[in-house]
Amino acid sequence: MKVGYMRNAKEPTKLAELTASKCIKNAIDFIYIRPKDIDIENQIVKGQKFTGDQWKEIESDIPDFIDVTPYCYKKKNRRVMNFLSKHSFLSYQPLKYGTNKIKESLKEDEPFLQQIAIKGNRRKQFEYFKKFIDESKDVIIFLSKEKSAPYIIHNQEEDKYVIERLSQITTYNEKELKTLFQSVISNENYKIYKYFPFDDQARLHRIDLQKNGEGEWNLVNSSLIEDLNGLHRKMNTNNNESKLLSEKAINTSIMLAKKIEEITKSNLMILSFDVAVSKQDKIYFYEILFGPSTTLFEHKSAAYRMSYYSYFKKNKVSNQASIETGAKNVDHKKKFTRLLNLIQRV
C-alpha cells in the first residue's frame, strides 16, 4: 500500500523520516508530498521516498492513503485537495463548521454538558472581554510575558469586579475595568480562562490522542501547560505528565474524540485537547486541535502512524464525511488516459 505524507514544507521533517523508517520495515510504501507535487492532469504525484539514509525524488500513482494536516487546506490548494478527496483517503477533511459549533453540539449531549468550557477569544474589543467575564463569573488572565503575574477577576455583582494580583485585591467598576483592559491587557497577547478557586485547584493539560493498529483511540502523550490558579506557569518537556492524569480524564478524552467523529461524520487519525483537570477530578475541555504539534513525542507518534497505516491497509477504512472521499472512484477512461500520458513521457 502507498501512503502519502502531505505537508507544506519543502524538505521532509524529522517526524516524516521517523515514520518512513518504520514503514520500510513494515512493507508500506511511504512518500513525502506537498500539495504542489500533485499532477492532476496525469493523476500522478512527484514526491520524495526515504531509502534508509536519504530522500530520493520519485514519481508515483496517487497514494491510497494520505496523512494530511489542516494546514494544507489553503485557498491556493483547493483544487488539489478536492481532487485528492475523490481519489484517495485523507486523514483529515475540513469540517463543515467550526470548533465553537462542535462545542455547542457537544453541550447538547448530557455526559459532556458541564465539561465544555469555551476559552475567551483574545479580542481587542472590551465588549467581548467583559461578556466572557460576566458569563464565567471568575476568570484568570495570563499576559504574554512569562514572569508577569496573572490577573484573577471575580464578577460578584453588576458593575463590581474584584481583581486579585499578587497579594493585592482591588475592587473596580466597569469603567475602571475598561481602563485596565485598554491600557494593559489589550496590549498583550493575553489568554483568558475560567478560573478555578483555590479549594479546587486545576491544571491545564494538553492531551494527545492517536489511533492505534486496531483503529482505536489511545493516549499518546500529555503535557502540563499551566496552573489555572495562578500559582505558577510552566511548559512540560519531560513527557511524564500522563502519570498526573486520572483514568477518568483519559477515558473522557477518548469518549470525546469518538463523539467528535460522530458529530462531524468524519474518521480522524490524530486529535488533541487542552483539558483542565481539577483536584476534585472535574474535567473541562477548552480547546480541540485537529492539527496538533507532535514535537514532544515524535518517535511515539511515528510508531502510531505506521500502525494506523497498517490498520487502514487491512481494513480499507471508509470516511463517513462523504462517500466519494473514502471510496476510490474507478474511472476507466481517466485511467486509460493516464496510462497513455505515462507511455508518451517514456
Tens digit of pLDDT for each residue in 31-43?
A: 999 999 999 999 9
What integer pLDDT is reported at residue 122 of this predicted model? 63
Residue 113 reports pLDDT greater than 80: no
CATH architecture of 2-94+316-345: 3-Layer(aba) Sandwich (3.40)
Cell output for 74: 489553503
Q: How far apart are CA 231 and CA 208, in angstroms?
A: 25
Residues 7, 74: contact at Cβ < 8 Å?
no
What integer pLDDT is reported at residue 317 of this predicted model? 59
What integer pLDDT is reported at residue 266 of this predicted model? 84
Phi and psi of 99, rounded to 5°? -65, -30
What integer pLDDT is reported at residue 117 of this predicted model? 57
- Taking the alpha carbons at both ends of the chain, their separation in whole angstroms is 24
What integer pLDDT is reported at residue 99 of this predicted model? 66
Residue 68 reports pLDDT greater than 50: yes
> pLDDT band at residue 236, thresholds of 50, 70 and 90?
very low
Read off the pTM.
0.76
Nearest to 71 by CA among 30, 118, 13: 13
Separate counts of helices (H) and strands (E) for the chain: 9, 16
Name which residue leads in pLDDT, 268 or 336: 268
> pLDDT band at residue 78, thresholds of 50, 70 and 90?
very high
Phi and psi of 3, rounded to 5°? -120, 130
Question: 120-173, pLDDT tens digit by residue?
Answer: 566 788 998 998 899 888 888 888 765 578 899 999 888 899 999 888 999 999
CA 146 to chain centre: 24
Q: What does the pLDDT average to over 200-215?
A: 89
Residue 331 reports pLDDT greater than 70: no
Q: What is the mean pLDDT of the chain?
A: 82
Residue 196 reports pLDDT greater than 80: no
Residue 11 reports pLDDT greater than 90: yes
Residue 256 reports pLDDT greater than 80: yes
Domain boundaries, the chain: 2-94+316-345, 99-117+200-294, 126-189
Q: Yes or no: is domain 99-117+200-294 CATH 3.40.50?
A: no
What integer pLDDT is reported at residue 341 of this predicted model? 44
What integer pLDDT is reported at residue 224 of this predicted model? 85
